[in-house]
A and B are shown apart, each in its own frame.
Chain A
């Protein structure tokens, strides 16, 4: 679509504008693919409890948030959940609902906090907030969907304490990844100059 509009463009500089859009599109696609890879890798690790996962997929969301902003982070979280569910065969079942709502809530909270209190938290704090948003959303869903609310509550302390550690770990990874990406990419997150 971008290409056809590009070739049909009337303004002479429209080519470089869409090259920039295209470059952003490609980078966000790579981040979706990377999040998916982490998510699928994580689903292969045997866990002591079905819901106790390190939440590595959130790494893709945090990196996207820092490089491309909140809207792109929401998009990456959404696409990662849908596409991973299609690969795993869990599309539209309760597992998918948990993954989608958790991922989207995490992206929304992280985007909001980073926008409102810019500079108060580093990637580590943002990532921990995302991990908590993810887990609390899933607990809320569990208590809404399941009949026995008490049993969902038993998971809460375990989930919250593990979210603290996994969130910090993901935040540390994200901090270094964002730094590396900003060194490699000219103008931070912006598309590189395109020479034809």
Chain B
């Protein structure tokens, strides 16, 4: 099968559609980025319910203990990433950097959940008047 043969199969409508969808899909990356705000702080929940916050503006590295060992988390230039984990699959390390509100890194084996919070992150479960 040659490429020329395939190109002959497509109609003009096909080519316009594919080009249009390629442009729209590519631009949706920027649209999503604009839609979601940059994170303000990170909430780290470790094993046994330990919970603390870190500001994304303060660079640094810290360790969260878990049942399998430590999960080392680094905050740098407003983004957070797991740099080392003692878990077997290393899924959390491969998640890379997160910085936008709502993004999460979960390490299931070591029971660590990191989520990015927004600027007006509410410290309360609910507010009533």
Binding site for B on A (CB under 8 A): 117, 119-122, 124-125, 128-129, 132, 148, 150-151, 153-154, 156-157, 160-161, 163-164, 168, 172, 175
Residue B101 interfacial (CB < 8 Å): yes
Those of B70-129 within 8 Å (CB) of chain A: 100-104
- Do the beta carbons of A129 and B17 come within 8 Å of each other? yes
* Bound CA–CA A117/B100 (angstroms): 42
Interface readout for B1-15 with A: 1 if CB under 8 Å, 0 if not? 000001001110110
- Do the beta carbons of A160 and B21 come within 8 Å of each other? yes
Of all chain B residues, the one with the shortest Cβ separation from A176 is B1
The interface size of chain B toward A, counting residues with CB under 8 Å, comes to: 23
In the complex, how many residue pairs between chain A and chain B have their CB atoms under 8 Å apart? 66
Contacts of A119 in B (CB 8 A): 11
How close is B125's CB to chain A, nearest CB, in angstroms? Answer: 14
- Do the beta carbons of A120 and B11 come within 8 Å of each other? yes
Residue B25 interfacial (CB < 8 Å): yes
- Do the beta carbons of B28 and A122 come within 8 Å of each other? no
Binding site for A on B (CB under 8 A): 6, 9-11, 13-14, 17-18, 21-22, 24-26, 28-29, 32, 35-36, 100-104
Contacts of B103 in A (CB 8 A): 151, 154
Question: What are 21 contact pairs spanning A and B, CB under 8 A?
Answer: A119-B11, A120-B13, A121-B13, A121-B17, A124-B9, A124-B10, A124-B14, A125-B13, A125-B17, A129-B17, A151-B103, A151-B104, A154-B102, A156-B28, A157-B29, A160-B25, A161-B22, A161-B25, A164-B21, A164-B25, A172-B6
- Do the beta carbons of A153 and B18 come within 8 Å of each other? no
Contacts of A156 in B (CB 8 A): 28, 32
- Do the beta carbons of B17 and A150 come within 8 Å of each other? no
How close is B57's CB to chain A, nearest CB, in angstroms? Answer: 21
- Do the beta carbons of B18 and A122 come within 8 Å of each other? no
- Do the beta carbons of B36 and A150 come within 8 Å of each other? yes
How close is B55's CB to chain A, nearest CB, in angstroms? Answer: 20
- Do the beta carbons of A125 and B32 come within 8 Å of each other? no
Contacts of A168 in B (CB 8 A): 18
Given A128-B21, A154-B36, A161-B26, 16 more contacts at CB 8 Å? A119-B11, A120-B13, A121-B11, A121-B14, A124-B18, A125-B18, A150-B36, A154-B103, A156-B32, A157-B29, A157-B32, A160-B24, A161-B25, A163-B25, A172-B6, A172-B9
